[in-house]
Amino acid sequence: MRHLLLKDLRILRRSPLLVALLVLYPIVIAVLIGFAISRGPDKPEVAFYNALPPSDRSIKLGGRDVNLNAQAGQLFDAIDAVPVHSRAEAIKKVRDGDALGALIIPADLTRKLQSGLEPGRVEVYYNAEDPAKRRFVENTIKSQVQVANAALTKIVARESLKAIDLLQSGGQYSFLGRTFDVLGLERSERILRRARARLPAGSPLRKEMDQVIAFTRLSRQNLSFSDNILSVVGQPLRVDSHVINGGTTSLNSFAVALAVAVSIMFITVLLAAGALALEREENAFSRLVRGLVSRTELLLEKAGLAAVCSLVVCLLMLAGLGLFVDLRWERFPLWVVALAAGALAFAALGLAIGALTREVRAASLLAFMLSLPLAFLALVPSGAVAPALYDVIRVISALFPFKATLDALDAALNDAGGLGVALLHLAALFAGFGLLSRVGLRRFAG
């Protein structure tokens, strides 16, 4: 047994590539899964543009100065704010994927908050390349705004209590630069008692009665604003959301596109890679290409086989999913186009893998090991990683068919837009990987 163990260790030592894969692959997969499907970073990078003039960065609520920068600081505890100098710069950062979203404080926020009659509105811009990411961004922004709202509500509620006390006891009240003497319910009661005691028919105490009448009128007017005030007290800040990129696909519909994209990837890549490698493993390749079929014909045959098989399986899969999810069957021809384009691009990738590995088992292993990370890479949302790393991820995703297939399927299934671009992308990848596999076939002869 010891000798067997030593033998195996010796073999492992002489297989550095295998050992490296065994160690690195799980780490890479774990990291990608974390990036792709976790709730995202604890402190997402958000571009922040504050359009408030310096003089308006504090507001008076019920006679008390509230520093909006200090309130914003609470928001920044939860996000990694990237200060920018204009609205356009903030939007560009989101569009380029350098930030997960953009938070813009408009110049009229102070006025609205101070009025107490309408909520202040902040603007949020974000990418929504996929619904999972959109949900993450929306939840993140929403929760942070709730934090800010809770803090403001506490202040507003305190001031509201003072106002109620004023209504009850009376006193001085400042509003829009004017000071009023509020009678209050207690004083009103006293005055009314006195008035009632003194008033015979045709009383001369008309002035005191006028005060009571004025107070009644003011109370009535204030009550007419109560709906707005209560609404503002509950939610002093509101969010205006703007999606920069991406459609409005629901998470369920996107999940269908994702499931089909993953299926078509595995079926096509594994089948194409395995079928081509099998020709060499069975020694038939040398017999075939000496005049019976050309190398290009052989590649096209394998690509066609893999593409047709995966197309059929994925259409059946969609039919099955259609029992549980609402699918737009009127778009069926577009499904077929998107599936066929994706299948051919994946088939070309599979052929390149088969040509380079030359063995069925190696081809299958490499196809599997390559496919999984590609899927996760394509799902990493912008802003979840550093901008430079995200750019690298985006380039890598663009070099393989998964992201383009997912976009094409999302467009075909859910009318998310961008089908033409995705199809062109897949055509380019088919040509590129086809060429690579054709060159790789030179290794088959050796």
Q: Which residues bind another protein (CB under 8 A)?
A: 282-293, 445-446
Least distance in Å: CB of 308 to another protein?
Answer: 19
Least distance in Å: CB of 15 to another protein?
Answer: 22
Least distance in Å: CB of 283 to another protein?
Answer: 4
> Is the Cβ–Cβ distance between 102 and 48 less than 8 Å?
yes
Residue number, 167 or 270, with CB nearest to another protein: 270
Distance CA 327, CA 246 (A): 19
Residue number, 108 or 282, with CB nearest to another protein: 282
Residue number, 285 or 346, with CB nearest to another protein: 285
Residue number, 264 or 441, with CB nearest to another protein: 441
Residue number, 203 or 286, with CB nearest to another protein: 286
Residue number, 196 or 290, with CB nearest to another protein: 290
Least distance in Å: CB of 355 to another protein?
Answer: 16
Backbone angles phi, psi at 326, to 5 degrees: -70, 115
Least distance in Å: CB of 307 to another protein?
Answer: 21
Residue number, 55 or 283, with CB nearest to another protein: 283
Residue number, 360 or 380, with CB nearest to another protein: 360
Distance CA 381, CA 402 (A): 15
Residue number, 285 or 376, with CB nearest to another protein: 285
Backbone angles phi, psi at 83, to 5 degrees: -65, 135
Least distance in Å: CB of 294 to another protein?
Answer: 12
Least distance in Å: CB of 289 to another protein?
Answer: 7
Least distance in Å: CB of 299 to another protein?
Answer: 16
Residue number, 54 or 291, with CB nearest to another protein: 291
Q: Is the dihedral of CA 342, 423, 377, 374 positive or negative?
A: positive
Residue 29, Cβ density class (10 Å: 0-12 exposed, 13-18 middle, ≥19 buried): middle
Residue closest to 151 by CA, chosen among 55, 222, 258, 61 = 61
Least distance in Å: CB of 286 to another protein?
Answer: 4
Least distance in Å: CB of 326 to another protein?
Answer: 42
